[in-house]
Structure 1
Amino acid sequence: MTTTTTYIAFLRAVNVGGRTVRMERLRALFAELGLERVGSYIQTGNVFFTAGATDAAARAALTGRIEQHLAEQLGFPVPVMLRTVDEVQAVLDAEPFAEVEVTPEVRLTLNFLSEPLPADFPLPYTSPKGDYEVLGADPGTAFVVVHLKDGKWVTTGNLFGKSYRGSVTSRFLHTTVKIVAAARKT
C-alpha cells in the first residue's frame, strides 16, 4: 500500500504584478502532473494536494516538476515552497508570535523559504526603519512581524539581505491557519 501525504504548495508571485492566474487553472495544472485531491484556498497561490513523495529527494524532484510545469504553462517562473500539512501545523503549534502584542498596526506573517536563512543572519532582527522584525526562523519558515506605517505596508524588497539567494513567499498567520484547515479536508 502506497502512503500518501497532503502537501501545501505556497506559490510566489501569483496574482501580483499583472501575473493573474485563476485558481481553477492552477488546480488543473497541478492535476495535469498526476497529483490527486487538488484544491486551493483564496487567490494568492495556495494549492494543496496528495502525493506519494515523502523523502527529501522525492520532494525536491516534485517541487522541480511543479515549477517547470507552471513556468511552461504560464510563461513566467513560479517559485514553489512545498510543505506537508503536518509541517505547517507544527509551525502554527509552536506559536512563534505568542509574545507579540497584536494591534491595528501589526501584521503577523509566516515567510516560507526555499532554503534556510544564512547562518550569519542575526536573529532576532529589526529592520533599520523599524517596519519589520524577524523574530526567528526554522529551516523552512521565518516568523516576521510587520509594523504598518500610517496604515500602510511599506516593507518591500529583500527582507533577509543580499546574502539570501532563495525564494520567499509570505502568508498572514490567520490565513495560514485557514489554508491548513482547507488542506485537511482534502
Structure 2
Amino acid sequence: MTTTTTYIAFLRAVNVAGRTVKMERLRALFGELGLDGVRSYIQSGNVFFTTDEPDRAALTRRIEEHLEEALGFPVPVLLRTVEEVGAVLAAEPFAGIEATPDVRLVVNFLTEPLPADFPVPYTSPKGDYEVIGADAGTAYVVVHLRDGRWTAPANLFGKSYRGSATARFLHTTVKILAAARKPS
C-alpha cells in the first residue's frame, strides 16, 4: 500500500542577495520532478506538494540537485510534513512571549540537531537574540530588534553547527501551515 505525504519544502537562500526566483518558476521545477499538487506561498521559498516517495533524505537530495542544476546555485531544502509543522505550532514554543514592534518570534528549521555542546536556553552576548528551545529539527529564537533592525549572525548556533537552517517568523509559519492544509 502506498502512502501519499504532503510536504512543506522550506527553501533557504531563495529571493535574497540577488538570487531572485519567481514562484511560478519554482513550482515548475518541483513539477518537473513528478511531484503532485505543487503550490507555493509568498516569495520566501515555501513550496507544498504531495508524493508517495518514501525516502525523505533521497527526495531532499533529488530536489536540491535539481534546483542547483536549474538555478545555478545551491538551495538547501528542509522538508517537513504538514503534521510535523502542525505539531511544532501546537507545542506553543513561544507561550508567554509576545511579539512586539521590537520582538520577533522566529522558527528555525534545521537539517540536523544543534550540537550537543550548544546551551539551550542561550542568549547572545549583545542580547539581540535568545534561543529559547530546540528539538531535533527546529530551534525557537526570540529576536530583539535594535533600532528596528535585526542582522542574523552568520553562526547563530555556533561554529560547530554543520547543518543548514532556514528561518520563518512564527506568524508566517502559521500562515504557511494554513495554506498547505488547503486542498489544491
Residues 39-70 of structure 1, C-alpha deviation per residue, up to 9 Å, x if partnerless? Answer: 0000000001001134xxx0000000000000
The equivalent of 1:93 in structure 2 is 90
The equivalent of 1:152 in structure 2 is 149
Q: CA deviation at 1:157?
A: 1.2
Distance 1:77 1:102 in 2: 32
Native 8 Å contact 1:85 1:184 kept in 2: yes
Does residue 105 (structure 1) correspond to residue 110 (structure 2)? The answer is no
Q: CA deviation at 1:155?
A: 2.9
Q: CA deviation at 1:104?
A: 1.4
Spell out the pairing of 1:156-167 with structure 2 (5 A cutoff): 156-167=153-164
Distance 2:82 2:145 in 1: 30
The aligned length equals: 183
Distance 2:23 2:125 in 1: 37
The equivalent of 1:45 in structure 2 is 45
Residues 110-141 of structure 1, C-alpha deviation per residue, up to 9 Å, x if partnerless? Answer: 00001110111100000001010000101000
Question: Percent same amino acid at aligned positions?
Answer: 78
Distance 1:8 1:16 in 2: 20
TM-score (normalised: structure 2): 0.97
Distance 2:124 2:8 in 1: 29
Does residue 6 (structure 1) correspond to residue 6 (structure 2)? The answer is yes
The equivalent of 1:22 in structure 2 is 22
5+ long unaligned stretches in structure 1: none
Tell me, what secondary structure is at the counterpart of 1:26?
helix
The equivalent of 2:122 in structure 1 is 125
Q: CA deviation at 1:151?
A: 0.9
The equivalent of 1:67 in structure 2 is 64
Tell me, what secondary structure is at the counterpart of 1:61?
helix
Q: CA deviation at 1:156?
A: 2.5
Equivalent of 1:181 in 178, 181, 184: 178
Distance 2:53 2:134 in 1: 25
Distance 2:100 2:18 in 1: 31
Task: Give the partner amino acid of 1:126.
Answer: T
Tell me, what secondary structure is at the counterpart of 1:109?
strand
CA root-mean-square deviation: 0.9
Native 8 Å contact 1:146 1:155 kept in 2: no
Native 8 Å contact 1:15 1:45 kept in 2: yes
Task: Give the partner amino acid of 2:32.
Answer: E
Q: CA deviation at 1:102?
A: 2.7
Native 8 Å contact 1:38 1:48 kept in 2: yes
5+ long unaligned stretches in structure 2: none
Distance 1:98 1:53 in 2: 35
